[in-house]
Chains A and B, each alone.
Chain A
Amino acid sequence: MGEDIEKPIDHRFEVVVRPHFDALYRAAMRLTRSRENAEDLVQEILLRACCELDRLETLESPRAWLMRVQYRIFVDQVRRRTRSPIAVGGEAADADAAASEDPGPEELTETAQRHRQLARVWTTLDRRQRALLALHAEGYTLAELAAITGLTRNAVGVALHRARARLAKLIRNDSTGGLRLVQAEG
């Protein structure tokens, strides 16, 4: 630790955090579905990482720590926002804005339609469901999700199954989307 203290903090910070930044940002995009909110989220993670740099340097897996921080900030942020009438409008407006960025339905590819539909229904899911779905879609395993969320692996599995069912129901009920069952490619 002694020699580390001699290094400039920005170098230490870059060595510890930079390798994980893209993963954090991708997850943040999936969680928030908004570039601005994703940037704010990763900024807050980096602020906390900066405060805990000494500790981060001792960890075998800084990413696990960073992902836990991200999860907690996201869940806490949404909880704070849902307690405020103004903030609820703000979050809904985020989703609306995300949806309205796209062109009209006639110009949309299937991918764009799906993106738009997700933006419409996303904030209807509760915060933990959004987090589990987003992080699992990003490739995290159930064991990793358990470590990130503090739930047991089995609880993550059950919660994830419920979240999938809920999302499917929202997608199917989304009258303007027009998408139905997405056939997986072989």
Chain B
Amino acid sequence: MDCRHIDSILDEHGVGALSAAERSEVDGHLARCPRCADAWLSHETLVRDEPEPPEDGLFERIAAQTHGGPRDLPSRHRRRVAPLGIAAAIALLGVLVFRFGPEEPARPASRDAGTATSAQLPADDPAPTGSLAQPDREARFVAGRDYERLTQPAPTISDSGFIEVCEFFMFGCPHCFDFEPSLEAWDEAQPDYVSLVRVPVIFNATARLHAQAYYTAEVLGQADVLRRPFYEEIHVRGNPLATVASIRELFGRHGIDARSFDEAFGSFGVQARLQRAEEMNRRYRVSVTPSMGVNGKYLTNTAMVGSNEAMLEVVDALVESELREPCRESDGSRCPLE
């Protein structure tokens, strides 16, 4: 019994079909695996929360009102329909005339009307016959265009069992500063098996100083606390933090005394982390910030995909791809999920 098996049971609604022996195996796995225990908790909580049935006659009541159009709806039921508006309802009917004839004719003049309502309608219905078949969108991101696949795997920090996503950033980079809220929100939404690792990029002497400061904060257990103030000091307050003294002063404002700062700043732990960051920069072949790496295998950045949001979409797709990757521990590749 492994995590994939648990996911499969939940995904395919297989809980009720488990034998006693399988059930026992599931319970054993849940006791050991917090991720699967969480998944099971959510699934069971939702499934057991049975919705109440509709009131008797609700369909008939709504159907009778609906046939008259929005104008005939009683006040409470008009509330949500009103934004659609009568003009929009007429436009919908207009779209019908042009779009949904039995032969699916060319869709001429009403393009504007169709555009105006397309956000409201399932007008781009991907399955005109009502079938559940879907167009294949697997190839929406292309290697070499939207991301690079590394020829040699880069080192990873997270334990086996995690899919590691790296952000390569510089505190002095305004795009990294702008990206930070989106990245934090993205990270918050990730499951436990996705591990976000921040890796400072060391393009110049100031970037090295900032990287050293970042790892000092990490060694002191304050990386998450100080990251935002560090960015804001540079990009909002205009303080470049280009000297050790100015960085020490910033740390001091956040409750870290000068002695603790100095000890950590010059420590072996920070130096080792700097070397590891340089190695990861080199192996991922980072050339712009922000960039994002996935599991030591892929790199993407805004120069490739055009925006921070698009970069996160590519990362999502790569994480998804890693999730499906079969484990091949024998050839040294990472096993995404044990």
Contact = CB atoms under 8 A, between A and B. Distances in A.
Bound pair (A, B): yes
8 contacts: A1-B102, A22-B54, A25-B58, A137-B46, A147-B126, A164-B38, A164-B191, A182-B40
Given A38-B51, A55-B96, 20 more contacts: A1-B102, A10-B67, A25-B51, A25-B53, A29-B52, A47-B69, A58-B102, A59-B130, A60-B131, A69-B122, A111-B48, A157-B7, A164-B191, A165-B192, A167-B42, A181-B30, A181-B40, A182-B45, A184-B23, A186-B23
B39 interface: yes
Contact of A186 (B20, B73, B192): B20
Contacts of B20: 186
Interface residues of A, number: 87
Interface of A: 1, 9-10, 13-14, 17-18, 21-22, 25-26, 29-30, 35-36, 38-44, 46-48, 50-52, 54-55, 58-62, 64-65, 68-69, 72-73, 76-77, 80, 111, 114-115, 117-118, 126, 133-134, 136-137, 139, 141-144, 146-147, 150-155, 157-158, 160-169, 171-172, 179, 181-184, 186
A22 B42 contact: no
A80 B7 CA distance: 33
A51 to B, nearest CB: 5
Nearest to A70: B122
B92 A51 contact: yes
Contact of B79 (A29, A35, A40, A143): A40
A168 B41 contact: yes
A80 B45 CA distance: 28
Contacts of A65: 122, 125, 130
Interface string B36-76: 01111111111111011110001100111111011001001
Interface of B: 7, 10-13, 15, 18, 20, 23, 26-27, 30, 35, 37-49, 51-54, 58-59, 62-67, 69-70, 73, 76-77, 79-81, 83-84, 89, 92-93, 96, 100, 102, 119-122, 125-127, 129-134, 136-138, 189-192, 316-317, 319-320, 323-324
A52 to B, nearest CB: 6
Contacts of A41: 80
| Interface of A: prevailing SS | helix
Contacts of B66: 43, 46-47, 50
B119 A76 contact: yes
Output the residue of B15, B27, B54 with the most chain A CB within 10 A: B54
Given A54-B100, A61-B132, A147-B134, A184 B40 contact: yes
- A-B interface, 4 closest residue pairs, ranked by CB to CB distance from nearest: A59-B130, A168-B38, A29-B51, A137-B46
A155 B321 CA distance: 10
B51 A154 contact: no
Contacts of A141: 12-13
B122 A68 contact: yes
Given A26-B51, A51-B92, A152-B137, A137 B70 contact: no
**Highest count of chain B CB atoms <10 Å: which of A14, A58, A137, A157:** A137
Contacts of B126: 147, 150
Contact of A25 (B37, B54, B100): B54
B54 A21 contact: yes
Contact of B11 (A18, A147, A160): A160
Nearest to A72: B122
A58 B130 CA distance: 9
Nearest to A77: B80
Nearest to B26: A184
Given A40-B79, A52-B96, A147-B132, A115 B49 contact: yes
Contacts of A60: 129-131
Contact of A51 (B93, B189, B316): B93
